[in-house]
Amino acid sequence: MAPPHRSPAPPPEHDNTPPPQRHVRIAIIGSGFSGLGMGVKLREAGETDFLIVERANDIGGTWRDNTYPGCACDVPSHLYSFSFAPNPDWPHTFSRQPHIRAYLEQVADRFGLRPHIATGTEVCQARWDTHEARWHVHTSHTTLTCDILISAAGPLADPALPDIPGLDTFPGALFHSARWNHDVDLTGKHVAVVGTGASAIQIVPAIQPHVGHLTLFQRTPAWVMPRADRPITSLERWLFRRVPLTQRLARAGVYLGRESTVGAFTRHPRLLRAAETLARLHLRRHVSDPHLRAKLTPDYVMGCKRILLSNDYYPALTQPNVDVVAAGLSEIRGDTAVAADGTTRPVEAIIFGTGFHATDMPIAHRIVGAEGHSLAQAAHGSLQALRGTTVTGFPNLFLIIGPNTGLGHTSMIHIIESQLRYIIDALDHLNSSGATALHPSRHAQQAWNADLQHKMDRTVWAQGGCASWYIDANGRNTTLWPGSTLRFRRATRRLDPTEYQHLPPSPETPATASEGSHA
């Protein structure tokens, strides 16, 4: 199977390998939307002493890593781009992976970020040094020091593979959707797809015409809605280029349409039952077999898990070379896949669409704060932050797409841009206050998260009757934001100094001040 087209990376203009013992004012981990967006905002603010550290050999984050057949975004293109960097040349209303990756490459070039990016450099550990009041960042090449550390690694950076007996002895091809092996030709093979999430519903129709037989191991069916996708005409693109206001209006219309649904997710889950009717009609329209239709019908409230968009997923499942096993994969015996209900299928290749380490991000084990504990250790299984961005005990650390900043109804770019503004305001406050560092008081962080979890109780994610990747090991939803993007924008518009502990400018000062003290 030929890999999807990839936009060629521009020729390197700089040696971006960080020199030994380099110091920068700001280090950013990751070069996806969050990391690049942060770089743009830093340059706009006049800050040029920063470095974006990227473990891969190119930029792009999720949209670099996910190259599986059919990979596309389920948020409309005009909304899935920076407000400060509109793209008038999106070819479809829902963009494909190559076009999104190309967009990120263009952003890096347009805003002069290339000299600030160190690719092929993985952060192994970042540790706050109390005496020096700065971060020591140990990478795969060298050690950096920085005054400010910004984690833009994101929750969709590290694939999660299930612990299945016999998997290590499987003789065929085996890979995760986010690590697609383009050297494997699936033509004519017996292929198993494990999972029914956003990646799997794109992969199944893309590979179904080529494989010999496809078995979908479905632990839980998803609610699937029609995808209103179409090519954007050349006339529309011409208009967006010549009259940028038209694209801003198109973006605003999409935003308002998506935002109008937030109340059903966060306050009145019963309203989503009306949308379930449309989803059932979509299923009935494409699947006439009542037995298969029953397998594909969820028994939980729509929105409890991520709502998926597809026009070709259901038709693919009705093809004669496809069968759906309504049970998760539980064991591998040689070249035989065994489901939890005892069903067996011969397989030559296994594709996992089983998500990511979203609530237990590996980067959290690598960032060590003032008290000698990692983010993961301090979290005790439930990562918390103040306004999704800063963490008590971790001075001058900022998280982009931190805990409880995810969305179930619209584009994450709006959340990212809100956090970028908040971080810039925090940096301005540090400069004007004369403090060396800041981190939230324990009281402020606890109060913010107590209120957040109280609001979470009335959402569809708490009342919808399903288990999802939004929930952490302690049974808490530490992934999603239980409100509108406008409310998050207001909550992060300005840094409130009274919520923070400030470290005095002297490097001899201990890294932790008394609760609520200020420089």
Residue 16 pLDDT: 55
**Does 241 reside within a domain?**
no
- Cα–Cα distance for residue pair 360/366, rounded to 1 Å: 12
Q: What is the biggest distance separating any 2 CA atoms in the chain, rounded to whole angstroms?
A: 73
Task: Please indicate, yes or no, whether residues 115 and 142 belong to a single structural domain of this protein.
Answer: yes
In a shared domain, residues 466 and 324:
no
Q: Transcribe 408-477 into DSSP letters.
A: SSS-HHHHHHHHHHHHHHHHHHHHHH--SEEEE-HHHHHHHHHHHHHHHTTSHHHHS----TTB-TTS-B
The reply to whether 95 and 182 lie within a common domain is no
Asked, for residue 426, whether it belongs to a domain, the answer is: yes
Beta-bridge partners for 92: 231
One domain for residues 98 and 31: yes
Both 186 and 317 in one domain: the answer is yes
Task: Give residue 515's pLDDT.
Answer: 35
CB under 8 Å to 508, separation ≥6 — which residues? Answer: 131
Q: Domain for residue 389, yes or no? A: yes
Residues 73 and 55 in one domain: yes
Whether 393 is in a domain gets the answer yes
Where is the domain boundary, 335, 352, 369? 352
The whole-model pTM stands at: 0.91
Among 308, 329, 352, the domain boundary falls at 352
Distances (CA, A) of 356 to 36, 152, 216, 389: 21, 16, 19, 21
Residue 318 belongs to a domain with what CATH number?
3.50.50.60
pLDDT for the residue 508:
46
pLDDT tens digits, residue range 145-160? 999 999 999 999 999 9
Give per-residue pLDDT as tens, 226-277: 999 999 999 999 999 999 999 999 999 999 999 999 999 999 999 998 899 9
> Confidence band (pLDDT; 50, 70, 90) for 20?
low
Helix (H) or strand (E) holding 145: strand 143-151
> Mean per-residue pLDDT for 27-38?
98
- Domain identity same for 270 and 374: no
- Secondary element (H or E) of residue 64: helix 62-65
Say if 9 falls within a structural domain: no
Q: Name the residue with tokens 């948020």.
A: 75
**In this model, does residue 15 exceed pLDDT 80?**
no
Tell me the per-residue pLDDT of 434-448, one tens digit each, with 9 for 90 and over. 999 999 999 999 999
Tokens of 518: 């200020």
Mean pLDDT computed over 287-291: 97
Residue percentage of the chain with pLDDT more than 70: 93
> Are residues 344 and 205 both part of a single domain?
yes
153 with 184, same domain: the answer is: no
Q: Which amino acid is at 40?
A: V
Residue with tokens 């839980």: 220
Please give the Cα distance from 473 to 440 (Å, whole number): 25
Contact 458/296 with Cβ under 8 angstroms?
Answer: no
User: pLDDT band at 514, cuts 50/70/90?
Assistant: very low
Evaluate if residue 518 carries a pLDDT over 80. Answer: no
The reply to whether 15 falls in a domain is: no
SS (H, E, C) 247-260: HHHHHHHHHHHHHC
Q: pLDDT per residue over 395-449, tens digit each? A: 999 999 999 999 999 999 999 999 999 999 999 999 999 999 999 999 999 999 9
Smallest CA-to-CA distance from 419 within 396, 386, 455 is with: 386
Burial (CB < 10 A; 0-12, 13-18, 19+), residue 491, is middle
Total structural domains in the chain? 2
User: Using DSSP, how many helices (H) and how many strands (E) does the chain show?
Assistant: 15, 20
Residue 478 sits in the same domain as residue 439: yes
Residues 404 and 472 in one domain: yes
Residue 93 exposure: Cα atoms within 13 Å on the Cβ side:
9
Q: Which of 421, 402, 368, 391 is nearest to 500 (CA)?
A: 391
pLDDT at 425: 98
Q: Are 347 and 370 in a shared domain?
A: no
Q: Which residues contact 328 (CB under 8 A, 6 or more apart)?
A: 162, 194, 217, 218, 219, 339, 340
Integer Cα distance of 507 and 392 in angstroms: 20
Can you give the pLDDT at residue 9?
Answer: 38
| 424 vs 9 pLDDT, higher one | 424
pLDDT score recorded for residue 17: 53
Question: Alpha-carbon distance 432 to 210, whole Å?
Answer: 62
Taking each helix axis from N to C end, the angle separating 33-44 and 97-110, rounded to the nearest 10 degrees, works out to 20
Average pLDDT of the segment spanning 101-113: 98
Residue 309 lies in a domain: yes
**CA 435 – CA 418 distance, rounded (Å):** 24
Classify residue 1: in a domain, yes or no.
Answer: no
Distance CA 138, CA 140 (A): 7
Q: Which domain holds residue 191?
A: 167-228+256-352
- CB-based contacts of 179: which residues, under 8 Å, 6+ apart? 65, 159
